[in-house]
Amino acid sequence: QVQLVEAGGGLVQPGGSLRLSCAASGSIFRIDFMAWYRQAPGKERELVATISSLGSTHYADSVKGRFTISGHITANTMYLQMNSLKPEDTAVYYCNAKIYTTLTLPFEFWGQGTLVTVSS
């Protein structure tokens, strides 16, 4: 029943910026944790950034200082502001969340992904 939907991907030149969004909907009791992952062609999926329900954030070393994760928990939304993009940032970006559908029942959910291509 729960769905995560990403948006905002596209083609951007090196040094440019994009803002990704993720919206969660469905039978949501609460969201404790949300994250952005990415998967480049031929590579394993990797963690990009995380945010807790209280706003604590963490970033992969490769994106520190360039990407900013934020969220509006009450609206079940999350964003990833990506600045100073590099060709190596090219990947499908996925929204991930630990969501409680009841008081004590958490599940991990994934969005379908949005493609970010950084190229000149």
- In the prediction, which pLDDT does 91 show? 98
pLDDT tens for residues 23-65? 999 989 888 889 999 999 999 999 999 999 888 999 999 999 9
Q: Is 49 left (phi over 0), alpha (psi -120 to 50) or beta?
A: beta
Q: Tell me how far apart the alpha carbons of residues 86 and 2 are, in angstroms, rounded to a whole number.
A: 33
Query: What is the residue-averaged pLDDT of the chain?
Result: 94
| 69 beta partners | 80
Percent of the chain scoring above 90 in pLDDT: 79
Chain center to CA of 118: 17
Six-digit token string for 106 = 């958490």
Q: Tell me how far apart the alpha carbons of residues 101 and 113 are, in angstroms, rounded to a whole number.
A: 22
Q: Exposed, middle or buried by CB within 10 Å (0-12, 13-18, 19+), for 20?
A: buried
- In the prediction, which pLDDT does 71 show? 86
Q: Tell me how far apart the alpha carbons of residues 80 and 120 are, in angstroms, rounded to a whole number.
A: 22
